[in-house]
Structure 1
Amino acid sequence: MSQWIATLPMYNVTPCHAAWWRALLRDTLEAFARAGGPADVALLDEPVGDLLALWCREDLLLSQTCGYPYRMLGLAGNVQLIATPVFDADGCDGAAYRSVLVVSARAFANGATTLAACRGLRAAYNDEDSHSGMNAFRRAVAPYARDGRFFSASKRYGSHLNVLRALGEGTADCAAIDCVTLAYVRDALPELLREVRVIGMTASAPGLPLIASRSLGEALAASLYDSLEVARTADVERARALRLRGFARLGHDDYALIEQFSRDAAAMQYPVLA
């Protein structure tokens, strides 16, 4: 490959988080080059548009995806699993994470203090291909659904931040937020949570995997994993700000749990968040 590309698009909650992740990526690539990896790597700005196409590129040296497209949309067959971050956030356990079930303060005051009590409210989610915002949420709701429905409405908002804004503004009532994202919001944007209340958590699943093109090869993939840890330990304050404890090596089969969430919801006659 004459030139590779790299980008980390998933946890850029604020411009500061984006800068920290980009610096971590840059330090990773420098450590990787010193260890014999390719030196000609273009760092992309935060990508927009078709992320699935980006993740499938033959020249992808490093990026991060969600477990749902990795396991459910065929991505696993086209990429190499490099690492899964380990975060210091409520809801994380090693390389596993949960979604935090939240409601608007108004809904909470009106009795929506448990997920079961949210029947008939308005659901919000970030995207259809999100495990944290849709798949885990759907699985949590499924036992309470009747005839395939639980909410009065369900609306896509495009990001977890937009979902939190909708809860705060009163245009939505209930949602599930990635626990790492929520921790970042608590750290940097606490005003978004003033009108939001936590009512529980979903079951845990493997965290968002770091991936590369299969053309990288297994030996270089192992070296890239080591370079991630070199970069993390190179700046302790940055790692603390990112709540990044380290990295784990999970396998493809570990992400089967995300597919199981979907099958469970379908088995309970709740295939769509509704």
Structure 2
Amino acid sequence: MPIEQISSTSSYLLANGERKETSGKEGFLSMLRQFNAENAQGYAEGKGRTSGSPNLSVNWWPERFETGTEYSAKKLGLSVDDMKAKFANIIERAEAEGGFSDPKTFLKSLSSEDRDFLRIVQGHADPVSDKALEAFTEEAALNFILPPGAQGDWDGDGLYQIGRADTFRFPSNHTPQHVKDAWEDLTKDMSNGEKMLAEGRFLISVLSVNIDSGKTQVNWPGDEGWSNPYSNPAYDYREHALGRLEWNEHIKGQLPEGQYQRDKEFWTNFIEALDRHQPSEQLA
């Protein structure tokens, strides 16, 4: 599945043209070291692979990101295992050649064949030329050499920049662990399609804070006014869910048949999952 389709509502967030850098290189490297330097280097050390196999571990290719692997492998003329093994080889090169510290330079060093391989795996349509790479942010370049499932929102703007695409994911690598645990609990029996729809519900908050109704102006990714409400470490996800329930009641009469009940059940179940996974110190 193309990376742009990870969220059913992510098409609202795809930015065309030049995208502004959202953080300086030193800031980017600081965030990278804080979260993913160990994980990224773990690929080359064998920590990211299954025992006795050159393929990336399922921990790095979780089920929700497996949907497009067969399509990509077929397009490449490879088996899924061979595709993952080739990706692992590129990651090993990245670790050995400083690709995690300077991903744009590393991408420029790759052959056109390897760039095209990454392009297909990441679901991008356009060739990855040197000129195209110049338009990548540092986050976009790093995510381009990481497999789906190991990518991150490194600058904290609420979006995953992967090559030229911006997409929304929930939970992100910044989401508190107890919220991630509640999400896993909530979605464990959902299909991939149902999970994508559930994920898109959290996009509403991002869109709403970036719309200036007084000026009928919308801030888009890369704009100076773009804001990510989830970047606040103290963001109250339970309060968010309660607010969605309240809004659902407010517009009950305007909703299509069945939607009111579906939304009510979703947010109620999310609140219950949050309560089950709330850290003990916050319950005191």
TM-score, structure 1 as length reference: 0.26
Higher relative contact order (CA 8 A, sep 6+): 1
TM-score, structure 2 as length reference: 0.25
More strand by share: 1
- Computing the radius of gyration from Cα coordinates, the structure with the larger value is 2
